[in-house]
Chains A and B, each alone.
Chain A
Amino acid sequence: MTPVRVFLVDDHALFLRGVRSELSDREAFDIVGSATDVDDAIASIRRLVPDIVLIDVHMPGGGGLSVIRNVVETHPDVRFLALSVSDAPDDVIAMIRAGARGYVTKTIGGDELAEALERTADGDAVFSPRLAGFVLDAFAGALPKPDDPELDQLTPREREVLRQIARGHTYKQVARRLSISVKTVETHVSAVLRKLQLSSRHELARWATDRRIV
């Protein structure tokens, strides 16, 4: 299997070095480059076209958000996994809606980070328990209405999968508990991510307004 080409973006050089040494021991990854500011990141990613960009949320000059927005325009195939110390709901939701395929916090362990990267490389979404909680919170109480054919309601099954993830279970455990395959879990999670990214949800907007995020 060819290694996954990873690009790192973080304005803290020390943290960057830590992640680099953590991942370079693993066969599955090839770290093709890194950047510590927004402009450099956009230029390098466009030049190198990596499989995955592991991106920090808060950086001077617009942050990870502006990197994602700029790159997605020209290179829609590059996938982003957000990595941040912040787990404030507004940061998380903003990154996901900009196009990030997942969101993990910097307290994540090396093995978990590797798994998250592999999952993102395979095209799946990565939901941390907290992110799953935010999404459930955002769609809470939104029952499907027959006269409101919105595409982006969560189905009961998707909701159940998210709930299991929020409870701290791995995809494999979720699959076993719900008697479905891991592939099906991944499909559900990806569907939720797509709904988050595509929707101009009023639930999402209302949820954000309630918490004075927007």
Chain B
Amino acid sequence: MTTAPAPTNWTELRTWLTRSTDDRVLTGVAGGLGARLGVGSGYVRAAFFGLALTWFGLILYPVLFFVSGGTAPSADLRRDELDQRQRLGLALMFAGAMVAFGSTNRWLGGLTIGAVTLIAFGIAAVWDRSLAGVAAGDQNQSRLRIIMGAVVIIAGMAVLLGSSDNLTGLGPVVLAVGITMAGLILVFGPWALRLAADLGEERRDRIRSEERAEMAAHLHDSVLQTFAMIQRTDDPKKMTTLARSQERELRSWLYGARGGEHGRMLSDALEDMADRVEQATDVPVEVVVVNDLPMGPRLDAVVAATGEATINAARHSGSMKVSVYAEVDAGVLEVFVTDQGVGFDPDEVPPDRHGLRQSVVDRMTRHAGTAEIISEPGEGTEIHLTMPLEAS
């Protein structure tokens, strides 16, 4: 940060008077000016406010606005803070301007203007960075600044009260109470706000750590246990089954919460069914559901029939995996259970497939659905279930 060169011509002046984009109340003139001068923008605002009480500030501000040649973030305009002597110089210049223009003012008495300006500077001092985290070494200085600001505010108010005959129409008691309240808010407001912000931060931290603890507990109960079991297993098929079942559980925990809104969905029921078949047979079952819908009595029958068909395929087809596909279209639920296994001739049902006929076909027809078995020796098997979904 270097000292910005003082402007020597019109173009430089326009560049020098850049409005701030991030530190602005009206147009950013005060923010930009404060950054360029190396004083807090709050003091610049207080100065504008004081000058505005005389006629001069009301002209100066728009002039500066139109002269300023663009906008930029305050950080780009920032220069070193002024030392005490330079500050005193600026303050004296301002005081001189106030006296000069204040004395020509017919509207408010010079004393009132002075008091209100004093209060404005006190406010600027109290609020100046007192909200931002103060660096450790800086703490005494900032405390001193706040105390001095408070003293200035109180002094300004005392003067204002003393000259309150100018502010006609307000009872002196109401005025005193109002001004005292305003003073309290101004002095303690920043502190209270900071306290509230700290509390919010603390609460967020607590929620975060609670979530973390819950997640750790869940991972411990599920994933770590499964890992321990996998390490104790010698059978690769068993390992795969354990891993797949854990994967399914973790997935539903991570991406789940489907059940929350509509209750149990068809996809949940089919996933559970697939999990049971995998546990029983060590054959992976892949479930794909299109147009999920909430469970109902008819769907229970379909899920049960699908389960029978799936376990049959897993046990007898010799396929590496079984696919379950469910889709709702035009009010009809269709389920396909497909394997790439040995297949068979549906007209010559072998004895061990009698279960298929009874538990799948009969179950579906009892609930007004249909079941069709499509298979050829060597070409895998597909069982096609349909169930009309009546509008109930």
Interface set of A (CB-CB < 8 Å, partner B): 85, 87-88, 107, 109, 129-130, 132-133, 136-137, 140-141, 163, 166-170, 173
Contacts and interface: CB of A to CB of B under 8 A. Distances in A.
B291 A140 contact: yes
B338 A169 contact: yes
Given A129-B288, A167-B336, A88 B323 contact: no
A141 B325 CA distance: 18
Given A88-B255, A140-B291, A163-B327, A129 B286 contact: yes
A130 B286 contact: yes
B207 interface: no
Contacts of B244: 107
B291 A168 contact: no
Centre residue among A85, A167, A170, A173 by max chain B CB count within 10 A: A167
B25 interface: no
Interface in B276-325: 284, 286, 288-291, 320-323, 325
Contacts of B275: none
Contacts of B289: 133
A141 B340 CA distance: 30
B271 interface: no
B382 interface: yes
Contact of A168 (B286, B290, B329): B286
Given A130-B286, A130-B288, A166-B288, A136 B327 contact: yes
Contacts of A87: 251
A167 B382 contact: yes
Q: Kindly state the interface size class of chain B when it binds its partner.
A: 20 to 34
B291 A167 contact: no
Contact of B323 (A107, A136, A141, A167): A167
Contacts of B321: 168
Contacts of A140: 290-291, 329
B71 to A, nearest CB: 32
Given A85-B247, A163-B327, A167-B382, 9 more contacts: A88-B255, A130-B286, A130-B288, A133-B288, A136-B327, A140-B291, A167-B338, A168-B323, A168-B338
Q: Chain B binding site: helix, strand, loop or mixed by DSSP?
A: strand
A63 B286 CA distance: 26
A87 B291 CA distance: 17
A167 B323 CA distance: 6
Contacts of B380: 173
21 contacts: A85-B247, A88-B254, A107-B244, A109-B320, A130-B286, A130-B288, A136-B327, A140-B290, A140-B291, A140-B329, A163-B325, A163-B327, A166-B327, A167-B325, A167-B338, A168-B286, A168-B325, A168-B336, A168-B338, A170-B340, A173-B380
Given A167-B338, A167-B382, A129 B290 contact: no
Contacts of A166: 288, 290, 325, 327
Nearest to A88: B255
Contacts of A130: 286, 288
Contacts of B288: 129-130, 132-133, 166-167
A169 B382 CA distance: 10
B145 to A, nearest CB: 44
A88 B255 CA distance: 7
B290 A136 contact: yes
Nearest to B240: A107
Centre residue among A109, A129, A173 by max chain B CB count within 10 A: A129
A166 B286 CA distance: 10
Nearest to B328: A140
A140 B380 CA distance: 28
Nearest to A163: B327
B323 to A, nearest CB: 3
Interface string B351-392: 000000000000000000000000000001010000000000
